[in-house]
Structures are given as structure tokens and as C-alpha cells.
Amino acid sequence: MSKVLVVEDDFSTAELIKFTLGTKDISVDIAGDGGEAIKKVRTNTPDVIVLDIMLPTMDGYQVCELIKHNVLWQSIPIIMLSAKVQREDVSKGLEKGADEYMTKPFEPNKLMERVLFFLSKKTKKESP
Amino acid sequence: MIILRTGILYSVLICAFISFSSFYSSFLISLKPKKSEEDAPLVLFLNMFGLYWLIFMVSNVLGWINVPSAYKQLSLLLNFILFLQPVPLLYYFIKNKFALFLYTLLGLAFYVLCFGHAFELTTVSYWGVQPGVPQVPGLIFIFGLMAPLAVLAIIKAVKDFAKRTKPLFVETITLVFACLETLNILSKSATWELLLVRMLYVFIGFIAYFYLTGEEATAQFAQRISPRIGNMVRRLRAMRIPFFAKLLLLFVLLSILPIMGAGMLLFLTFKEIIDLYIYKPLLWNLKLSKEEFLAALGNVQIQAIFLITLTIILVVIASIIASRGIAQSLRRIGFGMKRVEEGDLSFKLSPESNDEIGDLVNYFNKMATEIKRSREIMQNWNKELEKTVDERTKNLQTLYNISKAMGSTLDLEELISKSVNYIPEIAGSNFLSIFIKDDKGIYRSKASKGKQIDHVFKEGEGLLGVIVSSGHICKMAEVNEASVAEKKAFEPLGMKALLLAPMESKGKTIGLIVIGIQKDHIPSNIELNLLSTIADQMAIAIENASVFEKEKEAVKKLIEIDKMKTELLSMVSHELRTPLTSIKGFLAHFINGTTGPLNETQKKFVDIMAREGDHLLEYIDTLLEFSRVERGAFVIKKESVQIDKLINGIVEALRPQLESKGIALALDLKAKDAAISGDELKLGQVIRNLIGNSIKFVKQDPQITISSNVLSKGAIEVAVKDNGIGIDRDHLGKIFNKFYQVDTSLTRKVGGLGLGLAISKEIVEAHGGQIRAESEGEGKGSTFIFTIPVIK
């Protein structure tokens, strides 16, 4: 069972993502802030991370940077999901190493599609 | 009887002759060098000529009476010629050189004919050439002067020639003739005694010449010959000997002395000399012996002759005195006037008589004194005026400097501290302070020259307070009249008095200039005026500065508010996004059926909720976009954009929406491949905004036409035309303003924040383009057109 870590401080949004991904047999772990996210990556390394940007203590960019600078974790795909919709926000996210940038509000199906895409990519890499 | 008749016959002629001759000769005698000393020899010649003419006349008159002869006829003819002389003589005075020439020519004719002739007859013959002809002392006198004059004329002519200046022609000719005549006479000096006597005459004549002319120039001339003679002439001048005394002296020098000398040389007795020199020449003319003459004295006729002669002499003397007196006085006055005119105001004429001339001299002196006095007054005035002008100029410069200093800044503190340096040191002060009233009405020293002062006061408090409340008057105040607090503040600075100038603006006192005066000096009105002008200027400048300060504060606040608004907009749009994410996300699950099937009603409601969620999101996006525009934070990418391609893409995406609303869409794209440099996303936003606007304000049978064109001036034009509700003319210019809605009731119906057009305008202008709206009026549809320059 694939593991997805959702880093999201807004409870409703976290619930929405969890429900959305839960429909497809994916285990969803939720971290409420950046620090917790890092802790969870260390203890229970996920296959895909859905990462909000505006977070307490450590923002999404920093979390992304930390993960992508760690040799052990840098292969974990990160989908940034943020209310920050401006062009420079998007480019900054991608610069920090995010594999995908999605804006809020999001179409649940679309998020699902992207998560499944990254999961399949990972499976392909591992299988040969 | 015959003699008597002849006497009567001639008497008319004689009278005319006498009257003319008397005046003429006296006139000539009284001539003096007129303008410069240059013409002195000529004038002297004329003087001598006059004298000669007088003697000639007397001898002729005497001759005519008893000796009618061929010689007498000739003399008469010459006399008639002489009558013509006054005509050119008049011209002499109007400085007509030609007239002078004519005159001299006539004079010369006479001179050559008569003068020489007379000499021949009288002087020369006595000494042996023509024995028996006596010598007339007057003629010797004349000769004695003619010779030196001729010599001088030659010297002058030679000098003029050497200086290459044109010698006075007439003068030269005249005097050369005189010289020739002299030589002629000298050549006839048969004996050595005669030659000796005549040489003596020449020598005495020189001295007589210098003495007679007696002018400074003559003295200088004499100086050149011999310093001694020069000094002598000066001394003689200083003696101020009357003219007649001079004449008499000359007569003695040139006639009596030589005659007596010659007589003594010949060992003659005094009686013999008198006979020889006086009777003989006189009676020779009359062709009478001494005895005959004495006998004839009893004769009435002879008495008449003497009477006439006496009359002539008296007339001559009288006219000479008169003309000389008046002419000399007038000349003196004229000379004095010239001196005054030339600026020698201290020149005074010496009063010499009690008559009208004397009065004139007195008036002249008074006038000169008066002129001198008034000129002195004028000069004083001028000095005063210059002083005042200087002071004013200095003050203007000061005011200019202060104005410049004040104009250079709107900062209150800087303004005051700068002004302090430009206020001049009035009354030798070295303390100056500017007090400014604060909000609480307390006056504080904001800047000082000299020592700082921490005295504060309120209106009506102490000396300063009273001055301040009295308003706009510059005043002096003694420190010892001040309040205790003021004394404490100002006395240690060594000030005796304070000069106080309140600064008044709009009828209110806003400050006070305080100048400390240490010396016993009362400032002038000019200084007070200057200070009060400075106070006025400063009041205006301070007022301006404080208004500016307030404005600056207000603007700063506005900018802050604006920034806060923009930040708020940005934050709100972000914060709204988060709850909307959940709402839309969960709704999507309902719609997708992830949460199980919905019945029809539920499905309908959920759809409505989703659509309204979309609207909400649209508003949020607009707000965010707008906040970025406001912040100036939006960046325009520079990429090649093909407008037609862009429009086609947008229209394709919108088509379902348009069709669902029954809007007919027409495309008229002529830009083809033409590209502009810009931001495709942003330009797309503009086009979407415009189409969205048209969709919003539709009527029945809605129709939208989108056209594109390449303009000749190198720009692409895009127009979105609809047949909707149109725009009133009054609103056309304002619809691009932020938050502008033509009709609020309409807005409520169709929604929208009124930011779309404002954002569109910002984007178009950021591309260097322009946007405008056209409408025939309400209900007649509208067209939105924007142009963007193409890539060159």
C-alpha cells in the first residue's frame, strides 16, 4: 500500500485530501506543520508528499528544500498544493525542487490523477 | 573869407569823418585778444593801427584846413576807402576768416599807402633825408611798436611752419608787410644816430609789446625769450596798472625819452627841442612859421580848428573809456562766466565800480556763490542718495539671500537654521534668535546666532509676550524693562536692548525674531523696515513649511493606508482561498458521486453551490490580481504573442459558455501572423475581461464581434463589440477607474467588482498600448478597443 504524506495545517483541507486519496487504497498520513512533516518523513518515509506552502514554524518551501537536499529523501516526489497562485510562487516552488505545483482550490480528480502518476512512476523504477 | 568858406565846405565832411574815425580808432584801440592768446599779435596790430589812424586823422584834419593840395586830395580818397573798413570788421567778430581776410586786405592797402607815406613825410625827413620835415612823436611811437610786432609775426609764422600747422594767413601777411615797412624805414636811416635811435625803438617796442598785451601767454612767450622778461611781465601784470597809464608810459618811453635823448645828444636846449619836436612838426603840416602860428592863434578860424581838435580828442578819449570800460567789464564778466561754466565755482570777480556794471559784477558774484551753494547741496543730496541706494541694494541683496535660503527648503527646522545666517547684523548685534510658537502656544527658540537660549514664553507673558500679542510691529525694548525671567535669560548675554520683530501669518503671530543690541545704537528706519520685511518673509516661508509638513504627513498616512489596503486585499484573497478549497473539493466529490448517488434535487443544489463557488473564486482572483497591480508587483514578460492565435484559443474555451447563453459570436481577425512583444497570459486576461464584460451586459439577441487589425502606425488593434446595454457618454471616461460601476443596481444584478477594466487598462498600458471604450449611448451597444505596438 502506497503511502502519501499530506502536509497541511488546515484541518478541512487535510480531511478533503485524505478522503480524496483514500478512495484509491492509499494510506494518508497528515502532518500539521513543517517540523512534524520532517519527523514523519524520517520515521515513516512516504512514497509521495502533498505539501502546502503556508505552514506554521517552517513553510513548505523550506520543507521541500530540506527533503530535496537529503540524499535519502530526494527521490520522493513532492506535489505542492497551495493557495499561492502567482507565477512567481509557482516558479519558486519548482525552484525549491517540487515535482508538481497545484493551486487551491483544486479539482479532487486532478490531484488523484497526479498522485497516481507519481506512484506509478515510482513502481516502474523499483520493479526492474 | 575864402578860408572860412573852405572851412564850412569841409566841415560836414570833417564832422562825418571825425565821428566815424573817433569811434573806429577808439574801437580798434580797445580791442583785446579775444579767444586765445594766439591772436594777440594781430589784435595788438589792430590796436596800433587804431592809434595811428587817430593821429593820421588829426594831422589830416589840420592839413585839410589850410593846405588844399594834390596830396590832400589823395588823402581824402584814401579816407573814403577807409570808410569801407567797418563792414569786414563786423565779420571779424563772427569769426569769418574770409571777412577777416578782406578787412586785412583793405587795411593793408591803407597801411602801405598811408602809413609809409606819413612816415616818409614826417619822421624820416627830419633826420636829413628831407631836412626841415619835423618828427611827430606819435609816429615814432607807432613805429616803435610796428617793428617788434613784425618780428613776432615772423617768429610765429616760422614756428607754425615748423609745427606743420597752418599759420594764420592774414596775420602773417599783415605782419610781413609791417616788417617790410620797418625795413624800408630802417634802410632810409641815413645817419648812424638815426639807426641807433630806431634800433632803440625796436628794443623798447618789444618790451612795450609784452607789457601792453600783458597776458599770461605773453608772459610765457617772454619767458621763452628770457625768464627775466617773463617774470617782469608777470610782475607788471600783478601791478594792475590802468590801460591809460600804460599808454602814457609807452608814450613817454617811445616818444618823449628818445626825443629828449636825441636832443641831448645833439646838445640842444630844452626850448630848442620843444621847437624842433613839437612846434615844427605841427606847424609843418600847417605850412606856417612859428610866428605866423602864434599870430593866427588869435584868429577865430584857428580857434575853431583847436576846438575841433579838442572835440576830436575828447570824443576819442570818451569813447575809448566807454568802450574799454564796458567792453572790459563785459569781458571780465564773460571770462568769469566761462570759469563758472568750466566748473570753477569759487571764482569771484572783483567789484570795480558802483554803476550797472558794478551791479552786474555783484550779481554775478552772488550768482556764482548761489550756484556753488546749490551745487554743494546737490552733492550732499547725491551723497545721501548714493548712501541710501547702497543701503537699499544691500538690503535687497539680504532679502534675496533670505528668500533664496527660504525657498531652497520646505523643512521647517532647516528653514529656520538657514535663515538665521542670512539675517544681517543690525545695530552691531551678535545675538539673534528665532522663536516659533508651538501647538500649545509656547514660544521656543528654534535657532540662534551667538549663544543658545532656552527662554520660553507665552503670549502676553513678559516683554516678549506683550510684543508678540501686539502683533506685527518691529520694536525696541530695553532689557531692564523686561520681566525677571527675561532678564535672567538675556542679561548674561550682555544685551542692553532687544529688537523684536514678530512674524505674522494670516493675522496670527507665529513667531518672533529677537536681536540683541549691546551698544548704544538706535536702529534706523531702514533697518527696522528690513527686519520687518524679513519677518514677513519668514512668516510666509514658515507657514508654507508647516503646511507642507502637514501635507507630507497626510500623504504618508494615505500611502500607508493604501499599502495596508493592498496587503489586506492580498491576504484576504489567500485566506478566502483556503475555505473555498474545502467547499469546492467536497462539492466535487458530491458531483463526482464519490460519496454515493445524489437525487435530482440534491444534484441541482450542489451544482448551484459549485457554480457560486466558481464565481467566488473568480472575484478572489480579480482581487488578487488587482492588489498586485496596485503594488506595482506585476511583471510583464516579453515574449512574442500572435494576437489572432490568442483570440482563437480564448474563444474556443469560452464557446460552450457563450452557446449556453445564446450569444452569437463573430470573428473578424485580420492581424494574421502579426505578433507583438508581451505577456500572453496577461493579454489573454484582457481579452477574457472584455468578452466577459460583454457577456455580462447583454440584451435580447445578444451578439459579440471580436476583430483584430494591424494599424498603419505599427500597432495591433483588438476590438470587442457588443449590442448590449451600452454606456452613457458621461461614464465613458470613468469606466476604467477602479471599482467603477456605471449603475450600482445593475451591478447587483450582474455582479462583478468593477476591477476588470481597471486591471485591463494597467496591463495594456504596461505593454505601451492604449485602451478605450466607445458607445453611441445607453442601449446602443459598446465597443472596447485596445492597441498594442507590434514587434519591430
- Dihedral sign, CA of A90, A92, A96, A97? positive
Domain holding A71, by residue range, is 3-120
- Examine the pLDDT at B197 and tell me if it is beyond 90: no
> Which chain A residues touch B594 with a CB distance below 8 Å?
20, 23, 108
- With CA atoms as reference, the chain A residue closest to B617 would be A105
The verdict on residue A107 lying in a domain is: yes
- Examine the pLDDT at A50 and tell me if it is beyond 90: yes
Contact yes or no for B585 and A13 at CB 8 A: yes
- With CA atoms as reference, the chain B residue closest to A9 would be B578
Query: Which range is least confidently modeled, B86-100, B142-156, B277-291, B655-669?
Result: B86-100
The verdict on residue A73 lying in a domain is: yes
- Examine the pLDDT at B386 and tell me if it is beyond 70: yes
The vertex-B355 CA angle with B353 and B361, nearest 5°, equals 65
Strands A100-103, B703-711: pairing is unpaired
- With CA atoms as reference, the chain A residue closest to B637 would be A87
Higher-pLDDT residue of A59, B355: A59
Query: Which range is least confidently modeled, B85-94, B179-188, B226-235, B509-518?
Result: B85-94
- What mean pLDDT do residues B504-511 have? 81
B395-404 residue pLDDT tens: 788 778 777 7
The verdict on residue A7 lying in a domain is: yes
Q: What local confidence, expressed as pLDDT, does residue B245 receive?
A: 66
The torsion angles phi and psi of B768, rounded to 5 degrees, stand at: 80, 20
The verdict on residue A38 lying in a domain is: yes
- What mean pLDDT do residues B333-356 have? 71
The CA distances from residue A118 to A44, A121, B191, B235, in Å, are 18, 5, 167, 141
Q: What local confidence, expressed as pLDDT, does residue B694 receive?
A: 85
Q: What local confidence, expressed as pLDDT, does residue A92 receive?
A: 92
Q: What is the amino acid identity at position B393?
A: T
- B636 to chain A, minimum CA–CA distance in Å? 11
Q: What local confidence, expressed as pLDDT, does residue B426 receive?
A: 64
Q: What local confidence, expressed as pLDDT, does residue B165 receive?
A: 47
Q: What local confidence, expressed as pLDDT, does residue B351 receive?
A: 65
Contact yes or no for B577 and A107 at CB 8 A: no
- Examine the pLDDT at B708 and tell me if it is beyond 70: yes
> Which chain A residues touch B580 with a CB distance below 8 Å?
104-105
Chain A contact for B492 (CB, 8 A cutoff): no
Residue B638 CA to its chain's centroid (Å): 66
Cα B514 to Cα B503: distance, rounded to the nearest angstrom: 11
Of B577, B592, B635, the CB nearest to A109: B592
pTM of the model: 0.41
Determine what percent of chain B is predicted with pLDDT higher than 90. Answer: 3
Out of B140-149, B562-571, B736-745, B766-775, give the one with best mean pLDDT.
Answer: B766-775
Query: Which range is least confidently modeled, B604-608, B632-636, B657-661?
Result: B632-636
Among A87, A102, A112, most B C-beta atoms within 10 A, so best to mutate, is A87
- B630 to chain A, minimum CA–CA distance in Å? 15
Q: What share of chain A is helix, strand, coil (3-state, %, to 5)?
A: 45, 20, 35
Cα A7 to Cα A49: distance, rounded to the nearest angstrom: 7
Q: Can you give the CATH number for the domain in which A109 is found?
A: 3.40.50.2300
- Examine the pLDDT at B378 and tell me if it is beyond 70: yes
Chain A contact for B684 (CB, 8 A cutoff): no
B244-297 residue pLDDT tens: 566 566 556 555 555 566 556 555 566 665 665 555 555 544 455 666 655 655
Q: What local confidence, expressed as pLDDT, does residue B10 receive?
A: 43
Domains of chain B by range and CATH? Answer: 2-340 (no CATH), 396-546 (3.30.450.40), 635-789 (3.30.565.10)
Q: What local confidence, expressed as pLDDT, does residue A13 receive?
A: 92
The verdict on residue A49 lying in a domain is: yes
The CA distances from residue B34 to B44, B93, B321, B593, in Å, are 11, 9, 19, 142
- How many structural domains is chain A composed of? 1
- Examine the pLDDT at A83 and tell me if it is beyond 80: yes
Cell of B10: 569841409
- Examine the pLDDT at B45 and tell me if it is beyond 90: no
Residues B741-751 as b/e (b if ≥16 CB within 10 A, e otherwise) read bbeeeeeeeee
- What mean pLDDT do residues B221-244 have? 67
Q: What is the DSSP string of B489-513?
A: HHGGGT-SEEEEEEEEETTEEEEEE
- With CA atoms as reference, the chain A residue closest to B576 would be A83
Contact yes or no for A85 and B577 at CB 8 A: yes
- What mean pLDDT do residues B193-211 have? 55
Q: What local confidence, expressed as pLDDT, does residue B319 receive?
A: 59
Cα B18 to Cα B396: distance, rounded to the nearest angstrom: 80
The CA distances from residue B259 to B133, B194, B204, B262, in Å, are 15, 11, 14, 5
Q: For residue A65, what pLDDT band results from cuts at 50, 70 and 90? A: very high
The verdict on residue A127 lying in a domain is: no
- Examine the pLDDT at B224 and tell me if it is beyond 80: no
- Examine the pLDDT at B135 and tell me if it is beyond 60: no
Chain A contact for B545 (CB, 8 A cutoff): no
Average pLDDT, chain B: 69
- Dihedral sign, CA of B352, B356, B361, B365? positive
Cell of B764: 495594456
The verdict on residue A84 lying in a domain is: yes
Q: Count CB-CB contacts under 10 A for residue B279.
A: 16
The verdict on residue A126 lying in a domain is: no
Among B582, B618, B620, B637, most A C-beta atoms within 10 A, so best to mutate, is B582
Higher-pLDDT residue of B374, B321: B374
Q: What is the amino acid identity at position B632?
A: G
Query: Which range is least confidently modeled, A105-114, B311-320, B723-732?
Result: B311-320
CB pairs < 8 Å spanning A and B: 57
Contact yes or no for B581 and A107 at CB 8 A: no
- Examine the pLDDT at B167 and tell me if it is beyond 90: no
Q: For residue A94, what pLDDT band results from cuts at 50, 70 and 90? A: very high
> Which chain B residues touch A20 with a CB distance below 8 Å?
585, 589, 594
- Residues with Cβ < 8 Å from B308, sequence gap 6 or more? B14, B18, B61
Q: What local confidence, expressed as pLDDT, does residue B93 receive?
A: 42
Higher-pLDDT residue of B80, B464: B464
The torsion angles phi and psi of B147, rounded to 5 degrees, stand at: -65, -55
Q: What local confidence, expressed as pLDDT, does residue A28 receive?
A: 92
